[in-house]
Amino acid sequence: MTLTHPAVPGSLSPALAARITSEGLDPAAVVALVAATLAEDLAGGVDVTSTATVPADQVSTADFVARADGVVAGLAVAEAVIEIVTGGTATVVRPFAEGDRVHRGDVLLTVSGRTRDLLTGERTALNLLCHLSGVATLTRRWVDVVGGAGAAVRDTRKTTPGLRALEKYAVRCGGGVNHRMALSDAALVKDNHVVAAGGVAAAFEAVRAMWPGLPVEVEVDSLDELSEALSAGADLVLLDNMSPATMREAVVMTAGRARLEASGGLTLDTARVVAETGVDFIAVGALTHSAPVLDIALDLRPQAGDS
């Protein structure tokens, strides 16, 4: 089969486009991603199995069902897949909202439409929904572990190419907060910049001189470098691979003059101890680069009269 409705910007219903926008995502970007993933699955041909086994006019209802406990994210994206592959003719019922905790057996979405279309879009919808829900689920685990300690769980740019906006959205659904989206949003002076510029203060001052209104974070791996960064005027400092004891010293040394972010070698087992040092953020690249998917399946309901 070919797509009934062209996957072009503006092809989503106004209601779904508005919902996606309200969640901090670009509807046109979501449509482009969905179109690309559907094209990848069809590879210029048709869904040969569904075309052979399902009558063209058959209509079915299917449920997206959680096979494990977790936090759901990407429902609107899955719905976008259904809208695009069915040309907007399907109906969707949403019992859950983005960021909800869900349990094994919960029906996350119910869709009704042409059976062939639903089966053609099944894997694309599940790939996105399972992955984003996995990111949200892992994020919530970190957030729960550090809850009440005063540190926010923050993501990084260690994202899947092409999926950054969606993965960072899933982090928000899980209760985390986002670091910069792109290299132009804020400056992060890392060790290689320090080497190239000739020192922490020199690197910081070079960025501040060229981009006076831009947020600048400085990475340090010792208390001496922290002192240099604070003296230069840094208001956000990344503490790289420091022990909890050294982080506590860093918090005392900083005395509120800058916000501090812990990074490097962090695990769920050590997250609470790190959060209790007094840092403001915990940077966790694993939220996006190592999150296991949340197991979700699409179950087609039997047709009337089927045994």
Give catalytic residues, as residue numbers: 123, 158, 190, 219, 240
Alpha carbons within 13 A on the beta-carbon side of 73: 29
Q: Residue 126 contacts by C-beta under 8 Å, 6 or more apart in sequence?
A: 64, 78, 296, 297, 298
Tokens 């899980």 — which residue?
A: 174
Nearest to 174 by CA among 287, 293, 20, 56: 287
226-262: b (≥16 Cβ within 10 Å) or e: bebbbebebebbbbbebeeebbeebbeebeeebbbbb
Q: Residue 257 contacts by C-beta under 8 Å, 6 or more apart in sequence?
A: 230, 235
Tell me the C-alpha distance between 76 and 99, whole Å: 12
Q: Sheet containing 281-283: which strands, arranged edge to edge?
A: 152-154, 281-283, 259-263, 236-240, 216-220, 187-189
Taking a C-beta distance cutoff of 8 angstroms, is the pair 263, 238 a contact?
yes
Distances (CA, A) of 4 to 29, 48, 117, 120, 205: 20, 16, 9, 12, 56
Rg (CA), the chain: 23
Tell me the C-alpha distance between 18 and 41, whole Å: 27
Tell me the C-alpha distance between 160 and 144, whole Å: 24
Taking a C-beta distance cutoff of 8 angstroms, is the pair 173, 99 a contact?
yes
Tell me the C-alpha distance between 30 and 130, whole Å: 16
